[in-house]
Amino acid sequence: MMPLMMDSPQEPPQQPSPEPSPSPTLHPKQLAIPLPLTPHTTLHLQITSLNTSNLIFLTSTDPSSSGSLSALGSFVYAMPNRLQPSDPLCTALCSQNGSIEFANRLAKILARRTEKPTYVGSSVVFGNPTVEEEMAGVRAVVDEVLKIVHGEQKG
């Protein structure tokens, strides 16, 4: 039987080298922006920008729907297309008729502009939107998301 040596100093176990975290932030950014052409309607965004992808959730509120609950909406995945960069690949993971087109459009634009796979969850409801109102909403969301995503890449 071998005696246990208590007095000899032991080297601490080697720690594996720290690998870069897949996420520069574990705290998503949350903000609310008014729709430019639709008075009293606000878009609420939650943006999580990871090194490998972006995750964006959107919903809308207006005074007429303040007491009602928002439906889950659509959930879409888009990724940059290496063969045709102007046409990202996109698929719906969960589809609701009222929000799928808006979610698809946003996911494709953001995947192309950030050059990262992008998940978009959207329960945005435009009452009876005109093309101009919906495009103003898309433009406002894209501008805010790009500010946050590109701001985190620089920092």
Other C-beta atoms closer than 10 Å to the C-beta of 95 total 14
- Write the CA distances from 145 to 79, 82, 129, 133, 141, integer angstroms: 16, 22, 22, 18, 6
Question: Is residue 8 a part of any domain in this protein?
Answer: no
Q: Which residues contact 70 (CB under 8 A, 6 or more apart)?
A: 59, 60, 61, 123, 125
Nearest Cα to Cα of residue 58 among 20, 14, 105: 105
Question: Is residue 97 a part of any domain in this protein?
Answer: yes
Q: Are 146 and 138 in contact (CB under 8 A)?
A: no
DSSP string, 121-145: EEE---SS--HHHHHHHHHHHHHHH
Question: Is residue 89 a part of any domain in this protein?
Answer: yes
CATH number at residue 123: 3.30.230.100
Tens of pLDDT, residue by residue over 9-42, are: 455 555 555 555 554 556 789 999 988 777 788 8
Question: Is residue 66 a part of any domain in this protein?
Answer: yes
Question: Is residue 10 a part of any domain in this protein?
Answer: no
User: How many residues in total does the chain contain?
Assistant: 155
Number of domains into which the chain is organized: 1
Question: Is residue 105 a part of any domain in this protein?
Answer: yes
Domain that holds residue 113: 29-154
Question: Is residue 139 a part of any domain in this protein?
Answer: yes
Question: Is residue 12 a part of any domain in this protein?
Answer: no
Tens of pLDDT, residue by residue over 100-131, are: 999 999 999 999 999 999 999 999 877 667 78
Amino acid 99: pLDDT: 85
Q: b/e map of 125-140 (b: 16 or more CB within 10 Å)?
A: bbeebeeebbebbeeb
